[in-house]
Each structure stands twice: as structure tokens, then as C-alpha cells.
Structure 1
Amino acid sequence: MPVFGLGKKTALNAKARMLLGNGDPVAEELHGAAGRREWDTVRETLGHFEDQERSQLVWSLAWEQPQLYQWLRKEPRLEENDAVAQLLLGVVTVGYAWSVRSGLFARHVSRAQFEGFHALLREAEPRLYAAAELDPGSSAPWTGLLAAGRGLQVGLDVIRRRFEAAITRTPGDRVAHRQLTLALCKKWLGSHELMHEFVDQARRGPYEANLAFLTALAHLEHAMALEVGPERRAYLAQPHVHAELVQAAEVSVFRPGYAVPHMPFADANLFAMVFSLAGMQAEARRAFELTEGVVTRSPWEQLSQDVMTVYTTRRRLARTSK
């Protein structure tokens, strides 16, 4: 796990903190420029990257600063014939839509929230299709269309076609695989069985290390769909779940030199949370150490909006458990 200028604070007692861009210097620069509404710098920075890296950077902006939608939709320098500009506006519109909906279960989302959510997703789709037409070799617009399609519940056939469009252009695309995994969740368009089957198949290919995080994601989504308490604990206590999580971590976050461009601490946070929930405290300690104290909002927000408190509480448990 690279340090990216954060020093050598790898101990379990490293100060917990949230960083702009989640600890990646390029993403930090991009977020800073976007926060200052410096369109030329934002456009130039994104222009240096392609496909998966560009996709991860625009999604970083969309999830961490969804309010950028209000600026970008009125930015006069954002051109309709610019693939990068349309991609950014489309993905940020999707991110803003999800912030309007909130991350709550559907029963807790109001009718007005759903109406705003769907209207924004319908607004985003033409921009993403425009980006795909302007840059036909790029997978990035299709990741946005996957997320929009999930929210609009366009059906698994359409979702799968969008996924194929993404991976035809960038095989092993992490963002596309993540989006299809989420779409296949029981709470969206699929089932636990479909989700796990897809993840297992994806992991058998040549991109095992790059896609190993999907195993943790799938088990987390399955667990979070169950009732809090004995039912969830029983699922996560199963030997095959433990074995799959360990194997996935060993080929990815626990492997020396493992790194994800522009997301240096995302996988470590994901595995730390899942290992913690599964009661696998030794493995959780290893994952927490790899976070270097950098807290990413996802996935901790699934447990509490106070992500810092839930992270530090879970880390303390891992540190003190035998």
C-alpha cells in the first residue's frame, strides 16, 4: 500500500483522519481545483488520464463533492462537444442524484426524494451517452450509465449490455464491475445468488487481484441486507465466507506492492470493515494498519453517518482483541 506523501504512519494508532481525495495527490489537486471552481485546471487534469483512471477520478468528485452539480451545469466553458466535460457533468449529476435520494433503504426515502432522484438520473443519461459517442473507445461513460440504470431500474438486460460495453473497452474495469455487483444485489435488480455468481466468475479471470475487492463488497452487501443481530452474524460467521475473504485479501490488499491508482486506501477500508463485522479481528488489524488512519466515507457510512466514530471504534476493537 503506497504512502503517497503521508509519512510512515502505518501503526494501528495512527491518527484517524479524512482527506480530500482520500489520500491520493492527483485526486486532492482535482478536488481543490473543483472546490475553487477552476474549470480549466479540472479539465486539464482529467485530460491527462484515460479510461479506468479517469473514471475513478470523476467518481471521486461525484461521491465526495456532489454539490459540484450546481456549478458544472451552469459553467459556460463546459462544451457540449467535449467528451471529458460531458463525462464529468454526467457522472457528477449521477452522484448528486444519489445524494438527493440518500443511502437509506427505500422505505425511508420520501416520494419527493425519489422524484428528484429519478429526474436527475434521466438528466444524466443523455450527457453520458454524448460522452460515449464523442469518445467511443472509453469505458468511463458506461460506468455512469450503469449507476444511472441501477437507480432507474432499467432491468438486468439493459444493465448487462452497459456492462459489456464498458468491459469491451476496458477489460477488468473496477468501477464497471463494482456497479454491476451492486446492480445484482437483492435490494436492486438481482439476488444474492446472482451477485455471488457474478463475483466468482469475475475473480476467475486474469484480473483476480484487481477485482478481489468484489468478494468483500458482495459479502458486505449480502450481510447488510439481513437483520441486524443473530442473522447477520450467522451469515458472516460461515467458514466459507471467512475463507473467501482471506483469499481475496491475500491476493490484493495483503500482497506487498498492491496499489489501486487514485484510490490508495479504499480497499483497505473495505476489508477492514468486513473483517471487523465478521469477527475476524486478526485480519481486521492487518487491514486497519494498511489504512494508515485514512478513513474513506465508503463503506463506513453503511453503519453510521458518523464514519469517523464507527471507524475508530472498530479499529480499537481490532487493536485490543486477542
Structure 2
Amino acid sequence: MTDPFDAFPELVPLRTAAREGDGAAVLAFFAGLGSADEVCFASHHLADVPDVEKCLERAVAARPADPLPRTLLAERYVRVGWAIRSRALARDVSRDRFDQFHEWLRRAERLLIEVCAEHPAYAPAWTTRLLTARGLELGQSEARRRYDRMSAGTAHTHRAQTLLLQQLCPKWGGSWDAAHGFAQECASAASDGSDAGSLVALAHIEHRMELQGVEADTYLRNISVRNDLRAAAERSVLHPAHRPGWDSVAAHSAFAMAFSLGGHHGDAARHFTVLGDRASEFPWEYLADWRGLFTTFRASALETL
């Protein structure tokens, strides 16, 4: 079960409202959420609904001073642009597709600049601006500036952390020292039971995916990496203080994938037990036939119990 609307039935009214073009109902759904993490999570998945920009544009026109409609619309514009760019390597993307991609991101950025100027502590807008910064290739310093502006008002926003982690990886101009350092920074600064520890697993997954041959095969098998993953899991999603939320499926998925790729099936078992038949596409989607591998890895893990 990888569709978040299946994994979290409470999100279904949001998808229904979006499909029906009912902008008022979409905004009412967000009004009932209790945290910036929930707003960012729901916004991310709302952006996947085809043609949702039409009702969001009407919502922006009806409530021009409200930061939420503009932020939701910007997230959708980013998604449209990234679909045009595709996940191909930059060298395989045509100039025309890059131009269209950047134009959609610039449309999003114009909305978000307004929101952040008017509402400088509005974390969801700063979070989406991490995506536009990456896509518009604004660099490491600007991405970090945006993250710092967001976290000054709302600390430990999970989606913002995962987005900045991507930016800090070598594939986006960063370094492994920066990526691993930021992951550890997030995990250490968060309270016990936070999902933030999964950033440690994501950093190791990203590192492993950049390697080739024997290095790729052995990286996650390294005992020091395994111990790093164990420590992060114990103080985050496996801690007694952990309270499952919408981001927890992705957090457990990251640990389950990292442990499984390292052959540490006993460690992965605790995460697969919590997940059941649920999984987040990211980071599993890095693997070819990832749904089949998820099932295979889960079976191997559960055999250790």
C-alpha cells in the first residue's frame, strides 16, 4: 500500500474535495490540521491530484491575503514543472523542457516570495521554497538560508529537513560530510521519539546509491554504518516516546530499506512489523522493481522473528 490516501484514510476527504474542484473544502481540510508537519505532508500529496491548480487558483483569487492558498498553489506549480523535467539526468533533458520546468518554478517562487514577505514565520511556504531553490539551482547557501529562516519559527519540520538533506548531497552540489553532518544535527536536536532520526538512514541510502560495484554492495553492510542506523532508530521511531504520525511511514521505510540493503534483516524486522503492508514511495523508488523488493525484504526480515 503506497498511496498515502489508502494508508491514511483521513486524507481521503482532501482528495475528494480536490477532484471535485471544491477549493473551500480543500482549505477547510487544512484548517483542521494541527501542525506545520501535517500541512506540509498534506500539501505534498494534494499536489499530485491532476488539475488541482484550477480550484487553487480560484481559492487564491477569493482569499488573496491568506498564505495557505498561495502556498498550496505554488506546491502544485512545482509538481507540474518537475513532471515536465522528469527524473532523467540533466544531460538527458532537452533545453525546451528545462525552460518549461524553470518557468513553472518561477511562477511558484513569485507566489512564495509574497507569502514569506507577508508571513515570515509561515513554515510551509519556506519548505516549498527549498524545492524551488533546488530546481532553479540557487545553490547551497541560499537553500540553507531558506531552511534557517523556516526553522527559526518552526523547528524540526520533517519535510523541510528531508528536502535540505537532498540539497546537501553531492548530486546537488553538496558533499557527504555536509549531508551526514546535517542528518546527525537533525537527529541530535530533536526530542526523543521524533521522526528526525530517519534523516540518518536517508543520508546513508543516498550515499549508497551514489556508489558503484563492490563499494555499493558493502557500504550498508559496514558495522559502523549499521550501528549508526541502530542508534538513530532507537532514539527516534523505536523510542518509547514515539507517537506515530503521517511522516512515520516514511521514517520506518527509510530504516527498513537501509537495514535490508545492508543485509541486517533482524534490524529491519521491527520497522517492517510497524509498516505492515504500507510503504512510502520515497526512498524505496530508488530501487528497480522496488515493490517486489519491498515484499522480498519484508519476508526475509519477518523470518528472523
What TM-score do you get using the length of structure 1 for normalisation? 0.85
Q: 1:116 to 1:264 in 2, by over 3 A?
A: same
Cα root mean square deviation, aligned:
2.4
Partner residue of 1:61?
Answer: 46
Is 2:198–2:251's contact at 8 Å kept on the other side of the alignment?
Answer: yes
Give 2:280's aligned residue. Answer: 296
- The 8 Å contact of residues 202 and 208 in structure 1, kept in 2 or not, is answered as no
Q: Out of 250, 272, 293, which is 1:310 matched to?
A: 293
Q: 1:77 Cα deviation (Å)?
A: 5.5
Alignment partner of 2:205 out of 202, 216, 220: 220
* Greater CA drift, 49-58 or 173-182: 49-58
3-state SS, counterpart of residue 313 of structure 1: helix
Counterpart in 2 of 1:171?
155
The one-letter code of the counterpart of 1:172 is H
What corresponds to 1:271 in structure 2?
A: 255
Aligned residue number for residue 128 of structure 2: 144
Question: How many Å separate the matches in 2 of 1:133 and 1:187?
Answer: 30
Q: CA deviation at 1:313?
A: 2.8
- Aligned-residue offset at 1:91: 1.3
Alpha carbons of 1:313 and 1:77: their partners in 2 closer, same or farther (altered >3 Å)?
Answer: farther
Aligned partner of residue 189 in structure 2, secondary structure: coil
CA distance in 2, matches of 1:207, 1:107: 42
Query: 2:270 is matched with which residue?
Result: 286
Question: Would the alpha carbon gap of residues 178 and 18 (structure 1) be closer, same or farther in structure 2, given more than 3 Å must change?
Answer: closer
Q: CA deviation at 1:74?
A: 6.2
Q: Equivalent residue of 1:171, what SS? A: coil
Question: Whole-Å Cα distance in 2 between the matches of residues 192 and 101 of structure 1?
Answer: 26
Residue identity matched to 1:88: L
Q: Which runs of 5+ in 2 are unaligned?
A: none
* Count of aligned pairs between the two proteins: 303
Q: What is the distance in 1 between the residues matched to 2:97 and 2:193?
A: 38
User: Deviations along 1:168-190, whole A, 9 cap, x unmatched?
Assistant: 01012212211111110100020
Q: How does 1:156-235 map to 2 (within 5 A)?
A: 156-207=140-191, 209-210=193-194, 211-227=196-212, 229-235=213-219
The residue that corresponds to 1:24 in the other structure is 8
Deviation at 1:245, TM superposition (A): 0.6
Asked if structure 2 preserves the Cα contact closer than 8 Å seen for 1:91 and 1:128, the reply is: no
Unpaired segments of 5 or more residues in structure 1? 1-16
The superposition leaves residues 138-181 of structure 1 with CA deviations (integer Å, 9 ceiling, x where unpaired) of: 21100000111011110112111101110001012212211111
Between the two proteins, what is the percent identity of the paired residues? Answer: 31
Structure showing greater relative contact order (alpha-carbon pairs closer than 8 Å, 6 or more residues apart):
1
The change in CA–CA distance for 1:103 and 1:235 in structure 2 (over 3 A counts) is: same
Q: Is the Cα contact below 8 Å between 1:153 and 1:189 reproduced in 2?
A: no
Distance in 1, Cα, partners of 2:243 & 2:136:
33
Farther-moved stretch of structure 1 (71-80 vs 233-242): 71-80
Deviates most, 242-251 or 104-113: 104-113
Distance 1:263 1:200 in 2: 18
How do residues 61-100 of structure 1 correspond to structure 2 at under 5 angstroms?
61-62=46-47, 64-65=48-49, 67-69=51-53, 72-73=56-57, 79-100=63-84
Question: Residue deviations 1:230-274, cap 9 Å, x none?
Answer: 221222122221111111111222234523533342211221111
Name the stretch that deviates more: 110-119 or 140-149: 110-119
Contact persistence 1:66–1:96 (CA under 8 A): no
Tell me: CA distance 1:284–1:78, structure 2 relative to 1, closer, same or farther (3 Å): farther
Structure 1's 225 and 199: CA in aligned 2 closer, same or farther, altered over 3 A?
same
Kindly state the Cα deviation for residue 137 of structure 1 after the two structures are TM-superposed: 2.6
Greater alpha carbon shift after TM alignment, 253-262 vs 65-74:
65-74
Task: State the shift of 1:206 in Å.
Answer: 4.0
Residue equivalent to 1:245: 229
> Would you tell me which structure has more helix in proportion to its own residues?
2
Match for 2:15: what amino acid? Answer: H
1:190 alignment partner, SS class = coil
